[in-house]
Amino acid sequence: MWTPSLTRDAETTEKAAEIEPMLRRNIPFNTIREQDGESGNRIMSTKEMLTLDAFEEASEIVKNVTANTELIYSEYFSNQTGNKVYLKPENMQVTGAYKIRGAYYKISTMGVEDRAKGLITASAGNHAQGVAYAAKAYGCKAVIVMPTTTPLIKVERTRGYGAEVVLYGDVFDESQAKALELAETEGYTFIPPFDDLTVATGQGTIAMEIIKELPLVDYILVPVGGGGLATGVSTLAKLLNPKIQVIAVEPQGANCLQVSIERGEVTTLPSVNTIADGTAVKTPGSKIFPYLQKNVDEVITIPDDELVVAFLDMVENHKMIVENSGLLTVAALKHLNVRNKRVVAVMSGGNMDVITMSQVVQNGLIARDRIFTVSVLLPDRPGELVKVSTVIANAQGNVIKLEHNQFYSTNRHAAVELRITMEAFGTEHKGQIISALQEAGFRVKAVHTNLG
């Protein structure tokens, strides 16, 4: 169950009154642009990025394209963790992720001539759709270079936002090199996915919305791939209230920020391995790294199997589809060693294809013992199968798969193996079913479940 609106207590109202005039300070957009000396008619942004002024400007501008992703109070996660947990549902943005913020703000700072020449980027993920959508909203051309291996659905969706898709390269690095080459030859402006102060400022508008809505927030959890989102969110949070703790969350198999912060320098991982594709990044951005070093309070890493559990938690308790990268912060809620704090988890995206979704659901059910397999050894004589199924039925197990192996033992008359995969209500019920089988005299062993 979730409650869409928030009730403000007296303390919150007081803090809001203190912060809101600061947030409302309107700076006219044209004061931050000036004529470019060389061309005379090129308007360039000279604004310093990742400052309060820039964040305020970006927050107004991105409203043209963002959905109002109000915080959702989570009774389920609050009860589970002993904190007041709120979710920032960026999976509800029109392209299914927060990425339009940075792309749209970046375009807004470009001169008219550059916009007319068009934009380019390389991406097979949310950044592709973010740039495509933002460019369309601004009425400019967008070229997206995607690896040739990109699933057709992603290509079609990006084209659907009006972008021209160039399929090039077997791996992302080759696509990126092509995009940079086309930027050079065609005069397109390259929109980096994360290592750009303007893009990061755009992404940071998420923190503006969080703090306006929940001025007394204690912790903000933010996922990290290359670090653009975390740069924007952590920098603005610290500017508005240095007491807010910003926790960066990475996949355990792609912890490039954690390693870089530990070593005190930008470090490239030899390889990455995670189901969280949006955050499977080997190297954090070097331009944004100093901001991350300064403003991120802690890095938490999450193993993939916890993402699977978080996916089911979100579907069952909040009726929401959140992709693996967006689930990092949800999984991290259980790792926070604090109580009675106001915690916001940024759910950065919801783009998960249905095949991945079905695999994640199956693995999640297995992880929670809602599906499990036992091996039962039976004397090879008529009637044994009926006996086993009666015991399981009486214990309210629901058989979904049966494998009968007569060649388990060299003397097949002594024992045959039956592998039974069934549904249960959870770990306790699984134990009850296994005990019932043992009490009926069967030799039972829990084994790995393979639904393939």
Ligand X SMILES: Cc1ncc(COP(=O)(O)O)c(C=O)c1O
In this chain, which of 348, 373, 421, 449 binds ligand X, going by CB under 6 A?
Answer: 348
With contact defined as beta carbons under 8 Å apart, do 214 and 6 qualify?
yes
Q: Smallest gap, in angstroms, from Cβ of residue 274 to ligand X?
A: 12
Q: Based on CB atoms, which residue is closest to ligand X, 301 or 421?
A: 301
User: What is the nearest approach in angstroms of ligand X to the Cβ of residue 160?
Assistant: 18
Count Cβ atoms below 10 Å from residue 170 Cβ, excluding itself.
10
Point out which residues pair with 219 in neighbouring strands.
245, 343
Q: How far is the CB of 154 from ligand X (least distance, A)?
A: 12
* Shortest distance, position 300 Cβ to ligand X, whole Å: 14
Nearest to 66 by CA among 86, 95, 88, 87: 95
Sites for ligand X among residues 259-278 (CB under 6 A): 278
Instruction: Please tell me whether residue 279 binds ligand X under the rule CB under 6 A.
Output: yes
- Choice between 300 and 392, CB closer to ligand X: 300
C-beta of 133 vs 372, nearer to ligand X: 133
- Counting contacts by CB under 6 A, is residue 130 touching ligand X? no
Give the C-alpha separation, 397 to 437, whole Å.
11
Provide the minimum distance between the beta carbon of 22 and ligand X in the complex, in angstroms, as a whole number. Answer: 26
Catalytic residue chosen out of the listed positions 108, 234, 260, 348: 348
- Which of 108, 258, 325, 363 binds ligand X (CB under 6 A)? It is 325
Q: Which is nearer to ligand X, 327 or 422 (CB)?
A: 327
Residue closer to ligand X, measured from CB, 291 or 442: 291
Lookup: tokens for 248: 């960066």
Give the nearer residue to ligand X in terms of CB position, either 97 or 433: 97
Q: Which stretch binds ligand X (CB under 6 A): 11-19, 184-192, 323-331, 334-342?
A: 323-331
Cα–Cα distance measured from residue 22 to residue 29, given in angstroms and rounded to the nearest whole number: 17
**At its nearest, how many Å lie between ligand X and the CB of residue 315?**
17
Q: How far is the CB of 225 from ligand X (least distance, A)?
A: 3
Tell me whether residue 207 or residue 418 sits nearer to ligand X (CB atom). 207
- Specify whether the CB–CB gap between 249 and 256 falls below 8 A: no
Does 253 engage in binding with ligand X (CB under 6 A)? no
**Residue with Cβ nearer ligand X (161 or 408):** 161
- CB 277 within 8 Å of CB 221: no
Could you tell me whether strands 416-423 and 398-405 are parallel, antiparallel, or unpaired per DSSP bridges?
antiparallel
Minimum distance of ligand X from residue 120's CB (angstroms): 17
Please state the closest distance from residue 346 (CB atom) to ligand X, in A: 8
Q: How far is CA 113 from CA 117, 140, 189, 192, in A?
A: 6, 11, 11, 19
Q: Show the site string, 214-233: x = touches ligand X by CB under 6 A, - = not.
A: ---------xxxxxxxx---
Centroid of chain to Cα 192: 19
Pairing of strands 189-190, 33-35: unpaired
By the rule CB under 6 A, 301 interacts with ligand X = no
- Which residues between 175 and 204 bind ligand X (CB under 6 A)? 193-194
- Give me the 108-127 binding string for ligand X, x by CB under 6 A, dash otherwise: -----------------xxx
323 binds ligand X (CB under 6 A): yes
Q: Reply yes or no on whether 99 is catalytic.
A: yes
Task: Specify the residue, 224 or 388, whose C-beta has the smaller distance to ligand X.
Answer: 224
Strand partners, 155: none
Of 47, 84, 99, 141, which one is the catalytic site residue?
A: 99
User: Catalytic residue positions?
Assistant: 99, 348
Applying CB under 6 A, the residues found at the interface with ligand X are: 97, 125-127, 193-194, 223-230, 278-279, 323, 325-326, 348-349
